[in-house]
Amino acid sequence: MENVTLIGVDLGKHSFHLHGQDKHGKAVFRRKVTRKQLVEFFATFHACVVVMEACAGAHWMARKLAGFGHQVKLISPQFVRPFVKSNKNDFVDAEAICEAASRPSMRFVTPKTESQQTLSALHRVRESLIRDRTKTVNQMHGFLLEFGISLPIGHAVITRLPTVLAEHQLPPRLIAILERLHAHFKYLSEQLGEIDKEMGRQLADDELGMRLLTIPGVGQVTASVLAAEMGDGKQYGCSRDFAASIGLVPRQYSTGGRTNLLGISKRGNKNIRRLLVQCARAFMQRLDHQTGRLADWVRTLLTRRHSNVVACALTNKLARIAWALAVKQSSFDKGIAVPV
Q: What is the pLDDT of residues 80-128, one digit of tens each?
A: 998 988 788 888 999 999 999 999 888 888 888 888 888 888 999 999 9
Lowest mean pLDDT, pick from 117-131, 148-162, 172-186, 292-306? 148-162
CA angle (106, 110, 113) in 5-degree steps: 165
Q: What is the pLDDT of residues 312-336, one digit of tens each?
A: 999 999 999 999 998 888 888 766 6
At 58, which CATH number? 3.30.420.40
pTM across the whole model: 0.80
Q: Which residues contact 157 (CB under 8 A, 6 or more apart)?
A: 151, 164
Do 243 and 300 belong together in one domain?
yes
Do 226 and 323 belong together in one domain?
yes
Q: In the chain, how many domains are there?
A: 3
Inside any domain, residue 333: no
Inside any domain, residue 338: no
> b vs e for 242-261, b when ≥16 Cβ sit within 10 Å of the residue's Cβ?
bbbbbbbbeeeeeeeeeeee
Query: Is 42 strand, coil or helix?
Result: helix
Q: How far apart are CA 178 and CA 210, in angstroms?
A: 42
- β-strands 6-10, 15-21: how paired? antiparallel
Q: What is the pLDDT of residues 7-29, one digit of tens each?
A: 999 998 889 999 999 888 888 88
Q: How far apart are CA 105 and CA 301, in angstroms?
A: 36
For residue 215, count other CB atoms closer than 10 A to its CB: 23
Do 192 and 218 belong together in one domain?
no
Decide if pLDDT at 183 tops 90: yes
What confidence score (pLDDT) does residue 266 get? 84
Inside any domain, residue 176: yes
pLDDT band at 254, cuts 50/70/90? confident
What confidence score (pLDDT) does residue 209 get? 85
Lowest mean pLDDT, pick from 268-282, 304-318, 322-336? 322-336
Please provide the average confidence, as pLDDT, over all residues in the chain: 88
Inside any domain, residue 158: yes
What confidence score (pLDDT) does residue 158 get? 86
Do 305 and 230 belong together in one domain?
yes
Do 223 and 256 belong together in one domain?
yes
Inside any domain, residue 241: yes
Do 190 and 216 belong together in one domain?
no
- From the CA atom positions of the chain, what is the Rg in Å? 25
Q: Which helix or strand (DSSP H or E) is residue 133 part of?
A: helix 114-146
For 89, the domain range is 6-101
What confidence score (pLDDT) does residue 261 get? 81
Domain endpoint, select from 157, 177, 204: 204
Q: How far apart are CA 179 and CA 90, in angstroms?
A: 51
What confidence score (pLDDT) does residue 230 get? 85
Do 308 and 231 belong together in one domain?
yes
Question: Residue 272: which of 322, 309, 306 has the closest Cα?
Answer: 322
Do 196 and 219 belong together in one domain?
no
Residue 311, strand partner residues: none
Domain endpoint, select from 171, 204, 237: 204
Q: What is the pLDDT of residues 223-248, one digit of tens each?
A: 999 988 888 888 888 888 889 888 88
Do 265 and 316 belong together in one domain?
yes
Q: How far apart are CA 60 and CA 55, in angstroms?
A: 10
CA angle (83, 89, 92) in 5-degree steps: 40
Domain endpoint, select from 101, 126, 161: 101
Q: What is the pLDDT of residues 132-149, one digit of tens each?
A: 999 999 999 999 889 888
For residue 117, count other CB atoms closer than 10 A to its CB: 15
pLDDT band at 72, cuts 50/70/90? very high
Decide if pLDDT at 339 tops 50: no
